[in-house]
Amino acid sequence: MERAIRRGDIYYAELNPVVGSEQGGIRPVLIISNDIGNSHSPTVIIAAITGKTQTKAKLPTHTEVKDVEGLDRDSIILLEQIRTIDKRRLREYMGTLDKRFLPAMDKALAISIGLNGYSHCPMKQGRLSASLPAHECCPLHDDSVQKKD
């Protein structure tokens, strides 16, 4: 019997052919599409995973994962490297992402696709209102960011 594909599952997938800076080759990917779509569609939405944790720039679209079933080393889920692929590109099932990583993954995904105010940051554009605390302008900033006078 074939295994049901679920959100949070990690598979090896064949991502070639690629163009430019797209992640390619046979590599681990995380299923990020919802389970209803996963059960009815011939395609799934995935995010590439890399084990190159020391050389990758730390971006807000990255989720670092450690001690994950199926991954042989600490890795980074690249939520800026998402794409829809045919299920036939999926190879072997590797494991399932621990639920403790889902909030960070969802935040990185929201940043990547511009949901929940992540796409129009007035601080980034130099238009921060004097009445708005810097850490509340958008979810990308924290208390360490200083407000413009």
Q: Is residue 109, in this structure, part of any structural domain at all?
A: no
Domain count, the chain: 1
The DSSP secondary-structure symbol of 70 reads: T
Of 57-61, 82-86, 140-144, minimum mean pLDDT range:
140-144
Q: At CA 48, angle to CA 119 and CA 64, rounded to 5?
A: 75
The DSSP secondary-structure symbol of 19 reads: -
Instruction: Give tens-digit pLDDT for 16-56.
Output: 988 888 888 899 999 999 999 999 999 999 999 999 888 77
* Tokens describing residue 67: 């001690």
Q: Is residue 140, in this structure, part of any structural domain at all?
A: no
Confidence of residue 87 (pLDDT cuts 50, 70, 90): very high
**Predicted pLDDT at 8:** 96
* Tokens describing residue 14: 């064949």
Q: Is residue 49, in this structure, part of any structural domain at all?
A: yes
Residue of higher predicted confidence among 127 and 108: 108
Confidence of residue 146 (pLDDT cuts 50, 70, 90): very low
Q: Is residue 147, in this structure, part of any structural domain at all?
A: no
Domain with residue 38: its CATH number is 2.30.30.110
Across residues 73-82, what is the average pLDDT? 94
Q: Is residue 84, in this structure, part of any structural domain at all?
A: yes
**pLDDT of 122 higher than 80:** no
Q: Is residue 53, in this structure, part of any structural domain at all?
A: yes
Q: Is 67 helix (H, G, I), strand (E, B) or coil?
A: coil
Q: Is residue 118, in this structure, part of any structural domain at all?
A: no
Mean pLDDT of the chain: 82
**Predicted pLDDT at 53:** 83
Confidence of residue 119 (pLDDT cuts 50, 70, 90): low
Residues 3 and 50: their CA atoms lie apart, in Å, by 24
Confidence of residue 124 (pLDDT cuts 50, 70, 90): low
- Structural domain of residue 81, as residue ranges? 9-98
Q: Is residue 67, in this structure, part of any structural domain at all?
A: yes
